[in-house]
Amino acid sequence: MNWRLEIAVQTPAHSALGDVLSYTHPSPVAPGALVRVPLGRREVLGVVWSAQPAGADDGAAALELKPVGAVLDALPPLGAAWRDLVAFAARYYQRSLGEIALAALPPQLRDLSAVQLARRLKRQAAPAAAAASACVPALTPEQAQALARYETESGPFLLFGSTGSGKTEVYLQAVAALLEREPQAQALVMVPEINLTPQLEARFKDRFGSGAVVSLHSGMTNPQRLASWLAAHGATARIVLGTRMAVFASMPALKLIVVDEEHDPSYKQQEGARYSARDLAVWRGRREGAKVMLGSATPSLESWHQSRPAQGEDGGGRYARLAMPSRIGTAALPMVRLVDMGLQPPRTVLSAALLDAIGQRVARGEQSMVFLNRRGYAPVLACGDCDWKSECPHCSAFRVFHKIDRTLRCHHCGFTERVPRACPACGNPDIAPVGRGTERLEEHLGELFAGVRRPDGSPVRIARIDADSTRRQGALESQLAAVHAGEIDVLVGTQMIAKGHDFRRITLVAAANPDAALFSSDFRAPERLFGLLMQSAGRAGRDAAYLSAQGATAEMWVQTHHPRHPLFAALRRHDYPAFAQRELQERAAAGMPPFAFQALLRADARTQEAAQAFLNAASAAAEGLEGAQHVTRYSAVPHAIQRVANVERAQLLVESASRRALQRLLAAWQPLLHGLRKAPEGKGVIRWLVDVDPQSI
């Protein structure tokens, strides 16, 4: 007898083929098994979704089905919980099952034959027990209380802990307690950025032994990823550390999920299937009976709104909030100083008071950090005689001047040219940089500190860390190592340096020019800015012993033209709850998330008219669909950066107070959108996609 198998394979993103394809096989195959199947002229990897005997009623259609090429039966099938996660993500984010399922598997698996895989598995390590080691610090009362509640309540938990309050130690001990009770259990620990994984990995390996811990992130080679994935799937690894992609790791014994820095936008995938790994982690935890702990000093307003202060207390939310307001040791949070840039001489970049404070630290051998959210030398190059500016010919954006190699680079499409010798429009040789990026700030600091000497008489050492300085493999690691080793006095960088790093000798952090975010059109910009400033403040004065030995105080400096803005008032007091309360009131009044649920329909086309016509036709087509009466559909508008690489971009917002109604509408809309692409309104549309719970609109 033959069996009919429904198999998820990687089909094009918006394929009309549906979610699964049918194949035949002479024997039943367990759901979750990996198979190789013919697709077009290729043989591809697939995941069996279901199997049933090919009945007589299948008739002629069954005869047409192609047979499965090979079953990779050396590998245990992917579990029902994993398949449910994939199915939920596909449904919720409006993608195909095969796309999500196959993207969740390590790329190398696609290329291995059944025989190669079986051989590879023979080399796989035996299950590693966690080794539980000597140097475990005694918990602070706040940490102990957080852990006690974690142990007795069911969660999900929001660990609301100041920077340096010892959140990581709480994660470590939660994992340790789990493995003590259930030595075969597994824990998933997620961080937002690849460059934060090495430090975390070191701490976990130190605590649990290197055999028990594996990493999963896109910075690994394919063989490394395969090895980690197999260790997670085979339950030989106890702990998986990773970035957002790790949320899809197959972990049959999963009992705990930690999402560190849960507010971080990098948990939202920004291309293809635009999933939120944080939200999926919460869903997965509930499905699998695993406890979920979200951690942050500045939670997303969504999570904050969902959380209640203490057991039994009202707050409306279903997350249990565990608060750790104090820093470890006697270290206080840094004193926040606001510099009113309106009172400085014109064109001041770094105020005299700030330079003086940095100078004092240099003299004492301490470190300072200045960040600016703009890389390159200057955001624009302009002619003083005519109105030529360094616009990108392919995008609605300026090309950034990089002095290091004298290029103009578009940060959107990558278009790069040598800086022209004279103005291309009028020939004026005097074209000048306008504004300031990290390169120019680094140069400026170099000039200002040129005559200053360190305690031993040597010159001041200034370094820069941003996407440009760290392009080379291993560059970031060596630059961070230099900071940790005390070989740098003043560190300049983008937000890359503001996140997560456990610097010990930095006693001053400065935000050079954060004002743009105060008046951005993106309603989440103030939330991001507040988080970023709190995070960067968290880099200063982390080591209480060092501070007192130095007799130093930690300071966070903010240069602004709006020192009386309420955001800064809350920052001064390190008062996230006050900031959140005010922001949530505004969001509630305006009916914005977390009080509403949103999705964006985006379209790219050769012309803006074509993109908008498609979107508006799509909106008209949604009229009367299930859920539509509870969903507001706005008009199509150009994207904030309207043109990138000669492609016009537009978007249409749909919004509802009911997540269910929005989901129902999106599900009913999807097939119409596929059809519309072929209609006259869809002419000229290059691609379209739905972004559910978009992070920026």
With a CB cutoff of 8 Å and minimum separation 6, the contacts of 16 are: 674
Ramachandran class of 506: left when φ > 0, alpha when ψ lies in -120 to 50, beta otherwise: beta
Q: Which does 163 bind (CB under 5 to 8 A by kind): ligand ADP, Zn ion, none?
A: ligand ADP
The response to whether 395 counts as a known ligand-binding position is yes
Q: Give all strands (DSSP E) within 153-311, no chain letters.
A: 157-161, 186-190, 213-216, 239-242, 254-260, 291-296, 307-308
- Does 161 bind ligand ADP (CB under 6 A)? Our answer is yes
Q: Which does 166 bind (CB under 5 to 8 A by kind): ligand ADP, Zn ion, none?
A: ligand ADP
CB of 174: closest distance to ligand ADP in angstroms? Answer: 12
- Does 376 bind ligand ADP (CB under 6 A)? Our answer is no
Nearer to ligand ADP, 334 or 694 (CB): 334
Query: Residue 588 in contact with residue 647, Cβ under 8 Å?
Result: no
Q: Which does 691 bind (CB under 5 to 8 A by kind): ligand ADP, Zn ion, none?
A: none
Please confirm whether the linkage preceding 156 is cis (ω < 30° from 0).
yes
- Does 173 bind ligand ADP (CB under 6 A)? Our answer is no
- Does 205 bind ligand ADP (CB under 6 A)? Our answer is no
Residue 193 tokens read as 């950025």
Which is nearest to 36 in space by CA: 27, 46, 24, 26? Answer: 46
- Whose tokens are 């994993």? That residue is 82
- Does 682 bind ligand ADP (CB under 6 A)? Our answer is no
- Whose tokens are 């920026």? That residue is 696
Instruction: Pick the binder of ligand ADP from 11, 94, 96, 168 (CB under 6 A).
Output: 168
Interface ranges with Zn ion (CB under 5 A): 383, 385-386, 388, 392, 394-395, 410, 412-413, 415, 423, 425-426, 428
- Does 176 bind ligand ADP (CB under 6 A)? Our answer is no
CB of 147: closest distance to ligand ADP in angstroms? Answer: 11
Query: Residue 492 in contact with residue 445, Cβ under 8 Å?
Result: yes
Stretch near ligand ADP under the rule CB under 6 A, chosen from 9-17, 28-36, 161-169, 302-310: 161-169
3-class DSSP assignment, residue 59: helix
Residue 629 tokens read as 């009466």
Burial, 451: exposed, middle or buried (Cβ in 10 Å; 0-12, 13-18, 19+)?
exposed
The response to whether 423 counts as a known ligand-binding position is yes
Q: Which does 413 bind (CB under 5 to 8 A by kind): Zn ion, ligand ADP, none?
A: Zn ion
> How many Å apart are CA 229 and CA 246, to the nearest integer?
9
Residue 245 tokens read as 């992609």
CA 410 to chain centre: 23
- For ligand ADP, the binding residues in 471-510 under the rule CB under 6 A are 502
> How many Å apart are CA 517 and CA 500, to the nearest integer?
21
- Does 298 bind ligand ADP (CB under 6 A)? Our answer is no
CB of 538: closest distance to ligand ADP in angstroms? Answer: 6
Residue 621 tokens read as 């087509």
Q: Which does 395 bind (CB under 5 to 8 A by kind): Zn ion, ligand ADP, none?
A: Zn ion
CB of 233: closest distance to Zn ion in angstroms? Answer: 41
DSSP string, 310-355: STT---S-SEEEEEE-SPSTTPPPPEEEEEEGGGSPTT-SS-HHHH
CB of 162: closest distance to ligand ADP in angstroms? Answer: 7
The runs of H, that is alpha helices, within 214-290 are: 222-233, 277-288
Q: Which does 392 bind (CB under 5 to 8 A by kind): ligand ADP, Zn ion, none?
A: Zn ion
3-class DSSP assignment, residue 516: helix
The bridge status of strand 367-371 relative to strand 506-511 is: parallel
Total chain residues near ligand ADP (CB under 6 A): 15
The response to whether 426 counts as a known ligand-binding position is yes
- For ligand ADP, the binding residues in 309-328 under the rule CB under 6 A are 328
CB of 426: closest distance to Zn ion in angstroms? Answer: 3
Which is nearest to 627 in space by CA: 673, 675, 668? Answer: 668
Q: Which does 164 bind (CB under 5 to 8 A by kind): Zn ion, ligand ADP, none?
A: ligand ADP
- Does 306 bind ligand ADP (CB under 6 A)? Our answer is no
Nearer to Zn ion, 643 or 664 (CB): 643
With a CB cutoff of 8 Å and minimum separation 6, the contacts of 296 are: 158, 159, 160, 161, 260, 261, 262, 263, 303
Query: Residue 22 in contact with residue 65, Cβ under 8 Å?
Result: yes
Which is nearest to 109 in space by CA: 6, 34, 215? Answer: 34
CB of 554: closest distance to ligand ADP in angstroms? Answer: 14
Nearer to Zn ion, 382 or 460 (CB): 382
Residue 104 tokens read as 């969740």
- Does 163 bind ligand ADP (CB under 6 A)? Our answer is yes
Instruction: Pick the binder of ligand ADP from 142, 169, 302, 366 (CB under 6 A).
Output: 169
CB of 325: closest distance to ligand ADP in angstroms? Answer: 11
The response to whether 135 counts as a known ligand-binding position is no
- Does 165 bind ligand ADP (CB under 6 A)? Our answer is yes
Q: Which does 627 bind (CB under 5 to 8 A by kind): Zn ion, ligand ADP, none?
A: none
Instruction: Pick the binder of ligand ADP from 140, 186, 276, 598 (CB under 6 A).
Output: 140
Please confirm whether the linkage preceding 76 is cis (ω < 30° from 0).
no
Site for ligand ADP, rule CB under 6 A: 137-140, 143, 161, 163-169, 328, 502
Indicate the annotated binding residues.
Answer: 383, 386, 392, 395, 410, 413, 423, 426
Indicate the annotated binding residues for Zn(2+).
Answer: 383, 386, 392, 395, 410, 413, 423, 426
